[in-house]
Amino acid sequence: MVDLIPHGSVKDGSSFLHVMLTSSTLSIEHNLWILRINKWTFVSLKKVAVPFILWLEDFSVCQFAMIINKQRPALQEDDDLHCSEKKMASESYPPPFRSLPDSTQAVDLDDQVNPVHDSEDPIPLMDLQSLKLGEACEFWGIFRLVNHGVPPTLLTQLREHAKMVFSLPFESKQSLITSPLSYFWGTPALTPSGEALSTKGSSTLQNINWVEGLNVPLAQLSQFQIDNRIIASFSLVLEEYGKHLARLATTIFDAMVINLGLDPIESKSHLSNSTGIVRVYRYPPHCSNSSSASARGMDVHTDSSVLSILNQDEVGGLEVLKDNEWFSVNPIPNTLIVNLGDMMQAISNDKYKSVKHRVKVNRSKERISICHFVFPGEGSVIRSSNYKPFTYRDFQNEVQQDIKSVGYKIRGSSLCMILPSVSSSELEWSPSVVVLFSSSFGTPLRKATKRCKTSSLFELEFESEEMTRSTIRMSEFVWGMSKLNRLETTWQKMKQVQEKSYMDKLISVSGDELPDKGVSVLRLPQVLSAFPSNRDGNSCVNSGIRNGGIRSFKSRSKSTLNWLPLDSQAVYCPVAVDEYLDKRSNFIGTAVRQHLQYLEWKMEFAIDKGKGRHCSEEQPFLIEQPRESQHPSYCPQRSGFSCHNEFIYRPEYCHEAVVEYYNHAVGKIKKKKVRKMRSKAKKHLSAVGWVFLYISIKTRNLCYNSPKGVVHLTLQSACTSCMDGDFAERPAECMYIIEEDKGQPTRNRIWSRLNRLNFQGFYTVLLERNDELITVATVRIFGDKVAEVPLVATRFQYRRLGMCRILMDELEKLLMELGVERLVLPTVPSVLNTWTTSFGFSKMTPSERLKFVDYTFLDFQGTIMCQKLLMKNAPPKQGH
């Protein structure tokens, strides 16, 4: 059945708007919201005004929403929605992840055995502007970063994009995600070309990691043309993100070099941002049960990187090991997690710690995380007294060997890492109390013959000819053991070997040395007790690390008042200063104070008079001090102004502000509202990629640079340009619509002066079966000359079943009955063929398009206009 529901039939005074949105920040599940809208279970604009996209491989890029001010859907329907969303999400998972057991029955056995401290957040907190790294790096190997300067909108946007990419059907992800990106699942262990290793051909899911991911080598992103629109737009956001993260990595690394007293010149090559890789992960929900209790999001590991910087969503699951205890790294909005990798440990000569961590999957919610890794530059040799000189490539080769043989990385087996540069003759050896066997060192190890009295080194005897003897550090010894324990076959082998009395004893060490507590290890405490307690050089006392970033100042007052330092928190928030100035108030709010504190202003107050005063060394009172170093990635090459003049606004999406400010410019708004609007409009411009530069710091006059680099000298001109600019110029999510006033139907307001943003006259065509919506299209008829169908969408589960054809056939019949000559629609290039070969459309030539220049068709950037003549087959007209 096809219903034609005219939007105009809504008579309650509610305004309605069709919103075409070309951005892709919402996940595909929002499809359902739209469908529900068309079922007249309306949602408020707030729910749907966020940009979204529907990607329909069969047809076209379709984006739409109809906004009507009505009640929220009933609760029951919400549940239904949740179920279908779940089902749909499940179809996007790799097949082994699709069964979603009942979460209420799940018992996490692991938790009982291996308790995790998650009541509070013990992870050291660090302010990028005043990094106090020592304790965090030495004892934790991980810290939480605040004041990092990455816009919160970018962090969220990235995760939303990621969600959408992961929501694509599993098969599409496999075929669409191509070089330089790669898609993997079941393991985070990849080859250098980004291919997953261990899930292939794996018959057992026992050791599978409950994760799927994208591997993104950042430096290559801009060199490849990505055809798929969702992935292409995701890669643009990733590029933007990568620039911020490169800035963070450099700042943190430089601070570490200073903290470690290393030579900054020599250390430079130990971190190369061109090596930056982003891994985007989705952890589907999973309930541990008896058959798959071992399934984890990610097994215990250390990162091979110099630094890893993590952006995680609100679900949580990351845990780190410290002093033999697991701690949850709780999700805290707008903070990033920095963890140190193996390379940093080596560079620091083991002073800093490459932290062991793992990810637990949530029972009912999927988790998104985005991890950025940086490595030493190609050929950069790491030299330190604990290790033989090696390059990252050497290390990586060893890691690849591990992955090939056992499916995961064993840090200690990397030979270049384990061979200390000290010569054996310098050490004082005693006979070893242990003898072990392991094939995990690449070459069969026969026994450990001697143990060093003064350090945790063993001398080993190998069975191979080319390497007969070597030394090994205790930790590597243990890693080797753990590796052994993970391999059932080796266990067998080991037993045989034992029987052959190749080994005298097996040893074990305490759990913190092992990558996984669950592995079975023979415990011989008496052997253990023979080892020195500092066997890994890592013994430490629990460190309660202080928050960084807050500088306290001594009073320099010469007045008779008793001036005391004001110790407020330092928070980067320039817009607070701007707002303060806009209001021209004498009241300095907390946010301003925090920002000034951040800029290292002197902050004092006098108790007896209840006064406060703020001044910086060089600047007069409350003059904003732009700091180039904070946001180098914002530094636009695109304008003639130098970037130290840049003024950074806290981005806040609010299209309405721009519209309002524009309306003010054309004289429609009262003056007193203007100040507030101005600041909001600027925030919005900032959120959609505009950059502000001071023309003169003294007068605080700004100029406004559009994302394409066009400079505007007034905010009015910037707002007008932002509203009226090309789709190409304007970021996609910038569609200037207005939200209904709360609960009150308001005037129908169309916010653009442009015809092509006129959304009146649309009809929604629905294909339903048994009250279930299958396909929808949006159609607008321009008299009998032409009709347009800018949007067609079929629900996931009904795709590729010819449903769109049924709807289009019915629609065409209907249009023909109405005497409409021609039907046009915009299509993305990749599905042009479908429309032309299966649906009888043809590409419109430029001259044909010109004939319709007065018709305000909705067409989207990157789409091709197609047309189909209807009247040639039209049945004779019936009298109306």
Ligand X SMILES: O=C(O)CCC(=O)C(=O)O
Catalytic residues: 367
310 binds, among Fe ion, ligand X, none (CB under 5 to 8 A by kind): ligand X
Q: How many residues bind ligand X (CB under 6 A)?
A: 12
* Rg for the chain, CA atoms, rounded: 31
Write the DSSP symbol of residue 754: S
Please give the residues from 298 up to 317 whose contact with ligand X meets the rule CB under 6 A. 298, 303, 310, 312
Q: How far is the CB of 4 from ligand X (least distance, A)?
A: 48
Q: Could you tell me where the beta strands, DSSP code E, fall in 732-807?
A: 762-769, 772-782, 786-794
Query: Which H, E and C letters describe 564-628, residue by residue?
Result: EECCCCCCCCHHHHHHHHHHCCCCCCHHHHHHHHHCCCEEEEECCCCEEEEECCCCCCCCCCCCH
Please check whether residue 235 is in contact with residue 300, taking contact to mean a CB–CB distance below 8 angstroms. no
* 558 vs 533: CA distance, rounded Å: 56
245 binds, among ligand X, Fe ion, none (CB under 5 to 8 A by kind): none
Q: How far is the CB of 301 from Fe ion (least distance, A)?
A: 6
Q: Output the CA torsion 540→546→548→550 (10° steps).
A: -150
Please give the residues from 174 up to 193 whose contact with ligand X meets the rule CB under 6 A. 188
Which C-beta is closer to ligand X: that of 355 or that of 691? Answer: 355
296 binds, among Fe ion, ligand X, none (CB under 5 to 8 A by kind): none
369 binds, among ligand X, Fe ion, none (CB under 5 to 8 A by kind): ligand X
Q: Could you tell me where the beta strands, DSSP code E, fall in 627-785?
A: 646-647, 691-696, 701-705, 711-712, 762-769, 772-782
Which C-beta is closer to ligand X: that of 288 or that of 471? Answer: 288
Which C-beta is closer to ligand X: that of 279 or that of 286? Answer: 279
Please give the residues from 331 up to 360 whose contact with ligand X meets the rule CB under 6 A. 357, 359
Q: How far is the CB of 338 from Fe ion (least distance, A)?
A: 12
Which C-beta is closer to ligand X: that of 312 or that of 475? Answer: 312
Q: How far is the CB of 515 from ligand X (least distance, A)?
A: 13
Residue 308, H or E segment: strand 307-312
Write the DSSP symbol of residue 836: I
Which C-beta is closer to ligand X: that of 85 or that of 303? Answer: 303
Angle CA(32)–CA(35)–CA(39) in degrees, nearest 5? 135
312 binds, among ligand X, Fe ion, none (CB under 5 to 8 A by kind): ligand X
786 binds, among ligand X, Fe ion, none (CB under 5 to 8 A by kind): none
Whether residue 180 has a cis bond before it, omega within 30° of 0: yes
Q: How many residues bind Fe ion (CB under 5 A)?
A: 1
Q: Could you tell me where the beta strands, DSSP code E, fall in 204-290?
A: 212-217, 272-283
Q: How far is the CB of 358 from Fe ion (least distance, A)?
A: 8
188 binds, among Fe ion, ligand X, none (CB under 5 to 8 A by kind): ligand X
Which C-beta is closer to ligand X: that of 317 or that of 651? Answer: 317
Please check whether residue 383 is in contact with residue 364, taking contact to mean a CB–CB distance below 8 angstroms. no
Q: How far is the CB of 298 from Fe ion (least distance, A)?
A: 7
Q: How far is the CB of 329 from ligand X (least distance, A)?
A: 8
* 432 vs 146: CA distance, rounded Å: 48
Which C-beta is closer to Fe ion: that of 303 or that of 398? Answer: 303
- Residues in a beta bridge with 651: none
Site string for Fe ion, 303-332 (x = CB under 5 A): x-----------------------------
359 binds, among Fe ion, ligand X, none (CB under 5 to 8 A by kind): ligand X
Which C-beta is closer to ligand X: that of 311 or that of 456? Answer: 311
> Which of 187, 209, 348, 369 is close enough to bind ligand X by CB under 6 A?
369
Please give the residues from 254 up to 293 whose contact with ligand X meets the rule CB under 6 A. 279, 281
Q: How far is the CB of 253 from ligand X (least distance, A)?
A: 18
| C-alpha distance from residue 437 to each of 102, 305, 481, 528 (Å) | 44, 30, 9, 17
Please check whether residue 846 is in contact with residue 821, taking contact to mean a CB–CB distance below 8 angstroms. no
* 482 vs 476: CA distance, rounded Å: 10
Q: How far is the CB of 802 from Fe ion (least distance, A)?
A: 46
- Using CB positions, name the residue nearest to Fe ion: 303
SS3 of residue 449 by DSSP: strand
Which C-beta is closer to Fe ion: that of 303 or that of 513? Answer: 303
Please check whether residue 228 is in contact with residue 236, taking contact to mean a CB–CB distance below 8 angstroms. no
Which C-beta is closer to ligand X: that of 207 or that of 863? Answer: 207
Angle CA(238)–CA(240)–CA(244) in degrees, nearest 5? 110
Please give the residues from 274 up to 303 whose contact with Fe ion meets the rule CB under 5 A. 303
Q: How far is the CB of 318 from ligand X (least distance, A)?
A: 4
Please check whether residue 352 is in contact with residue 124, taking contact to mean a CB–CB distance below 8 angstroms. no
316 binds, among Fe ion, ligand X, none (CB under 5 to 8 A by kind): none
331 binds, among ligand X, Fe ion, none (CB under 5 to 8 A by kind): none
Q: How far is the CB of 299 from Fe ion (least distance, A)?
A: 10
Query: Which H, E and C letters describe 317-371, residue by residue?
Result: CEEEEECCEEEECCCCCCCEEEEECHHHHHHCCCCCCCCCEEECCCCCCCEEEEE
Please check whether residue 338 is in contact with residue 309, taking contact to mean a CB–CB distance below 8 angstroms. yes
In terms of Cβ atoms closer than 10 Å to its own Cβ (0-12, 13-18, 19+), residue 771 is: exposed
Which are the contacts of 236, defined by CB distance < 8 A and separation ≥ 6? none
Please check whether residue 653 is in contact with residue 733, taking contact to mean a CB–CB distance below 8 angstroms. yes
Please give the residues from 663 up to 692 whose contact with Fe ion meets the rule CB under 5 A. none
Which C-beta is closer to ligand X: that of 188 or that of 480? Answer: 188
Q: Which amino acid is at 683?
A: K
> Which of 226, 371, 571, 592 is close enough to bind ligand X by CB under 6 A?
371
- Using CB positions, name the residue nearest to ligand X: 369
189 binds, among ligand X, Fe ion, none (CB under 5 to 8 A by kind): none
Contact residues toward Fe ion (CB under 5 A) are: 303
Contact residues toward ligand X (CB under 6 A) are: 188, 279, 281, 298, 303, 310, 312, 318, 357, 359, 369, 371
